[in-house]
Chain A
Amino acid sequence: MNAISDAFREGPALIPYITAGDPDAESTKEQVRALARGGADIIELGLPFSEPIADGPTIQNAIQRSLDAGMTPRKYLDLVADLDVDVPLVCMTYYNLIYQYGNEPVRAFVEAAADAGISGLIVPDLPVEESDDLRAACDEFGLDLIFIVAPTTKGERLDRVMEQVSGFVYVQARLGTTGAQADVSTQTHDSLGRLANYDVPKAVGFGVSEGHHAREIVAAGADGVVAGSVFVDLIASGEDVASNLEQKARELAEGARTGFTQRVPRPERT
């Protein structure tokens, strides 16, 4: 369970997202290796679901390409088991796939994911209210369960979510769905402010695509940045994918490190 929190020990973490099987399983392996070379500290590997309600058009299209190419939960876990990178992997998928897998709803998937080498799960359509079964299975098999905190998550609700988080908290930078954006939203700063006193690594995602975004986000107090659509776009372009992924990862990782040096030190927590 410590692989994920360890990834935040040596400075800010870069967490790229790609959809597994886009455009095919062999390409995913190359993409993962390229991201690792570029400095990824954790990699989020999407398991495609037919109704991705939390995703914008870029990732919807990647999911469609992957499904069209025949990706399934079993092939996904085989692919993960075949990967030979030294970076913790987080599976991002929707709840119905976890629920349907194997003979025992939820538990069978978590066990298989742990066996394949997955370190944590992000399930964007599973709020804390419905997460008891998955939480129990993750505890049993040593997986982190990462929850998303949105700009609308405040007050007592924020406490309830943060009680359930393990690994890191995924700070959704803006309202809406995933997708690359031109700027860092002011909501990011507000969210990081609300989270300042929680002692869990905070990774900001939704709209991160440039090195200066990563710098600004980390300077504002984040412990990591998640970027998805920007990598998925590079994959979709189909040209020099591996070197472009590596270069983009390097740009974001450098941005994050620069941001870390610009951080305004916070008063020591008591």
Chain B
Amino acid sequence: MSDSPAKFGDYGGQYVPEVLMPAIEELTDAYERYVLENEDGFMDDFRARLRDFGGRPTPLQHAEQLSERYDTEVYLKREDLVHGGAHKLNNALGQVLLAKYMGKARIVAETGAGQHGTATAMAAAHLGMDCEVYMGRRDITRQRPNVFRMRINGSKVNPVDVGRGTLKEAINETMRDWATNVEDTHYVIGSVVGPHPFPRMVRDFQSVISEEARAQIREKTGGLPDSVVACAGGGSNTMGAFHNFVPDEDVALYAVEAGGSSLDVDEEKGVAPNSASLSTGSVGVLHGARTRLLQSRDGQILESHSISSGLDYAGVGPELAYLVDTGRVTPVTVPDDAALEAFHRFSQEEGIIPALETAHAIAYLETADDLGESVIVNISGRGDKDLESVLEETAKRDLVNAPEMGVFE
């Protein structure tokens, strides 16, 4: 790995407008002091709030039906039980608290599925900070319950009408807001993407997932798992679930990307009908970092697609790109249809309605051929927010395991 703390091998860096660089220098300094060195007891404060406000630790649950079905011991890391219904609070709470320690008055955030937006809105309300969330117009219509939750927590939600109105455009617009209000505002990036120190800092806040899971599985089984499976969009739950297992070389790490409707690319239309930047992308620079991207040969960023808005992004965290290049993490893909089937199967067999993002990780169990004797699947979030999309998408398909919806007719 390169000596620079801003890089993972050749990935990462700080590709942002000059107007933001002083704020990024200030943030890097605050990250090093408060997060890495626990100055003023920041990390103690953070851990206490994660416990009392966030509901940590989350359980590691043995999944009996899945274990039988796949003939391997399946353990579920229940991040869906974190306050708000997803792992996103781990990072949002950390960053909003850090902004408060830094003396910032205002928070801005982007959101795709709305999980990061709701987590940030909750954390901002909890810590008494003003908060504005940018969300693509298309995502607003796909994730209405989350939009209401943000509003109810007192945050402003700003629709983004540019482009296709998804996560990529929301990030662009939040960066523009940050560039305008940089002196009193902190940008709470929702994933392990963006310029240094965000990829490292978000990973550190999320690494509580694998810290707990590693101790929990040792307690339950006396050893480590053979594999860990997590879905990957930007990669925050992925890096959180992997981080403490990275040095355990016998533990296989699978990053499950959204295969969408196809892994092909339509350069003419500038569309990739998937979000598989680790599996199919090429190296480029987007949103502050050198990483793997879905892009045209010229370097224009393609419109991505996934049935799940939280995975619908043309980039991925630079550290994940690095870990894939070094062979430590294996990227795999699951298409829309299989994710939807897994959503229904998991809901029926285990009594847990997963987020559509998470359903990709669960679906991978169906096609994986060598997960070993025990596997941890990160249940990154619950699916309540997705019910409208699931009803709509299920109606379009002939799924073997979808419930009969006739009760509404």
Check if B249 is an interface residue, CB within 8 A of chain A: no
Expressed in whole angstroms, the Cα–Cα distance for A233 and B238 within the complex equals 44
Closest Cβ neighbor of A157 among chain B residues = B22
Q: Which A residues from 75 to 132 make CB contacts under 8 A with B?
A: 95-97, 99-101, 124-127, 129-130
Residues from 120 to 158 in A contacting B, C-beta threshold 8 Å: 124-127, 129-130, 147-154, 157
Q: Do B285 and A125 have beta carbons less than 8 Å apart? A: yes
Q: Does B50 contact A (CB under 8 A)?
A: no
Query: Is the Cβ of A150 less than 8 Å from the Cβ of B286?
Result: no
A56 to B180, CA, bound (A): 11
A53→B16 CA distance, assembly (Å):
9
Q: Are A125 and B17 in contact (CB under 8 A)?
A: yes
Inter-subunit contact A176/B179 (CB<8 Å): yes
Verify B295–A96 contact, CB threshold 8 A: yes
Given A100-B284, A127-B16, A175-B183, 9 more A-B residue pairs with CB atoms under 8 Å apart are: A54-B179, A56-B176, A99-B284, A100-B295, A127-B17, A129-B21, A149-B18, A150-B18, A176-B180
Interface size, chain A (Cβ < 8 Å): 38
Q: In the complex, what residues of A have CB within 8 A of residue B65's CB?
A: none
Given contacts A73-B298, A175-B183, contact A51 B15 (CB under 8 A): no
Asked if A100 and B298 make an inter-chain contact with CB atoms under 8 angstroms apart, the answer reads yes
**Is B162 within 8 A of A54, CB to CB?**
no
* CB-based A-B contact count at 8 angstroms: 115
Contacts of A234 on B, CB cut-off 8 Å?
none
With CB as the reference atom, state the residue of chain A lying closest to B302: A50
Distance between Cα atoms of A143 and B307 in the complex (Å): 46
A17 close to chain B: CB less than 8 A: no
Residues of B within 8 A of A147 (CB): 18
* CB atoms of A175 and B300 under 8 A apart: no
By the criterion CB–CB under 8 Å, are A154 and B22 in contact? Answer: yes
Known contacts A99-B285, A152-B22, A153-B22: does B16 contact A51 (CB below 8 Å)?
A: no
Residues of A within 8 A of B299 (CB): 49, 73, 96-97, 99-101
Nearest neighbor of A52 in chain B, beta-carbon distance: B172
| Interface flag for B168 (CB, 8 Å) | yes
Closest to B173 in A: A53
Residues of A within 8 A of B18 (CB): 124, 127, 147-150, 152-153, 161, 172
Task: Knowing A50-B300, A51-B287, A95-B285, say if A150 contacts B19 (CB, 8 Å).
Answer: yes
Interface bits B6-48 vs A (CB < 8 Å: 1, else 0): 1000000111111111110100000000000000000000000
A58 at the B interface (CB under 8 A): no
Contacts of B287 in A (CB 8 A): 51, 53
Q: How far is the CB of B192 from chain A (nearest CB, A)?
A: 19
Q: Which chain A residues border B16 with CB–CB below 8 Å?
A: 53, 125, 127
Residues on the B chain within 8 Å of A153, using CB = 18-19, 21-22
- B81 close to chain A: CB less than 8 A: no
A28 at the interface (CB under 8 A from B): no
B298-A72 in contact (CB<8A): yes
With a cutoff of 8 Å between Cβ atoms, the chain A residues found around residue B21 in the complex are 127, 129, 150, 152-153, 157
Report which of B15, B168, B270 forms a contact with A127, defined as CB distance below 8 A.
B15
